């Protein structure tokens, strides 16, 4: 079932336009890193220096999520489709050379984990459905790209998305529940649009 669905997307949807689009949004240097830069700029505009501190927390969360994902890959040991069925899976080489990843295991998808973590974390901390919806839409496209490119089974992508949502929601809850983190975000009295005004209790603002 997982392989059938993968091949339906990987081969049935094949087109030069989708090769270019899905290949692009799976790239770290040309998509993920510029997106992080855009998020930093938007958080700075919205929250000032509190936005910069929130962005740093996001980076820590993504690094931790990446480490957890790699640990789970080692634990589960499930091969990527491009490693398990190289004769069946179509790999995209142009205009972005994707190929099969260096590590053959793929459960869960770290791309899906990190993008869904980002959506859940920022949407939760900022209490903004717009942030959650926009980043969630990006996460869905990135997750779909991993199946289209043949580097993850649908089940591996769904597992990554589930882990990411769980970790992102947990991290957002910790930001609201831990006084040390709340006070750190509130430092300098900035962030009146989101973090401080709606997310930080009055006692912490005055303390």
Coil, strand or helix: which one is 38? helix
Which class for 147: exposed (0-12), middle (13-18), buried (19 or more C-beta within 10 A)? buried
DSSP 88: T
Question: Span 2-206: which CATH code?
Answer: 1.20.144
pTM above 0.95, yes or no: no
Identify whether the C-beta of residue 101 lies closer than 8 Å to the C-beta of residue 89. no
User: pLDDT tens string for the chain (207 positions)?
Assistant: 789 999 999 999 999 999 999 999 999 999 999 999 999 999 999 888 889 999 999 999 999 999 999 999 999 999 999 999 999 999 998 888 888 877 899 999 999 999 999 999 999 999 999 999 999 999 999 999 999 999 999 999 999 999 999 999 999 999 888 888 877 877 665 553 445 444 444 444 443
CB neighbours of 110 closer than 8 A, spacing ≥ 6? 65, 66, 69, 70, 73, 160
Please report the sign of the dihedral spanned by the C-alpha atoms of residue 201, residue 59, residue 171, residue 114: positive
For residue 82, give both structure tokens: 């491009």
For residue 17, give both structure tokens: 């336009």
Q: How many CA atoms lie within 13 A of 53 on its CB side?
A: 20
Cα separation, 65 vs 139, whole angstroms: 15
H or E stretch including 54? Answer: helix 49-76
Q: How many CA atoms lie within 13 A of 67 on its CB side?
A: 6
CB neighbours of 171 closer than 8 A, spacing ≥ 6? 57, 61, 117, 120, 121, 124
pLDDT at 195: 52
Domain ranges of the chain: 2-206
Backbone region of residue 188 per phi and psi (left: phi > 0; alpha: psi in -120 to 50; beta: other values): left
């Amino acid at each position: 079932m997982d392989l059938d669905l993968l091949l339906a997307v990987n081969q049935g949807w094949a087109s030069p336009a989708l090769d270019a689009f899905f290949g692009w949004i799976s790239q770290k240097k040309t998509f993920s890193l510029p997106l992080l830069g855009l998020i930093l700029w938007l958080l700075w505009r919205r929250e000032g220096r509190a936005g910069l501190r929130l962005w740093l927390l996001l980076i820590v969360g993504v690094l931790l999520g990446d480490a957890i994902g790699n640990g789970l890959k080692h634990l589960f040991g499930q091969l990527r489709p491009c490693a398990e069925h190289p004769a069946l899976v179509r790999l995209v080489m142009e205009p972005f050379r994707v190929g099969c990843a260096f590590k053959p295991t793929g459960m869960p998808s770290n791309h899906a984990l990190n993008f869904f973590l980002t959506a859940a974390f920022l949407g939760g901390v900022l209490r903004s459905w717009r942030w959650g919806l926009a980043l969630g839409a990006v996460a869905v496209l990135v997750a779909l790209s991993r199946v289209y490119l043949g580097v993850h089974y649908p089940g591996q992508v769904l597992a990554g998305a589930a882990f990411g949502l769980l970790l992102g929601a947990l991290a957002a809850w910790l930001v609201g529940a831990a006084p040390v983190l709340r006070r750190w975000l509130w430092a300098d009295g900035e962030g009146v649009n989101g973090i401080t005004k709606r997310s930080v209790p009055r006692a912490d603002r005055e303390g």
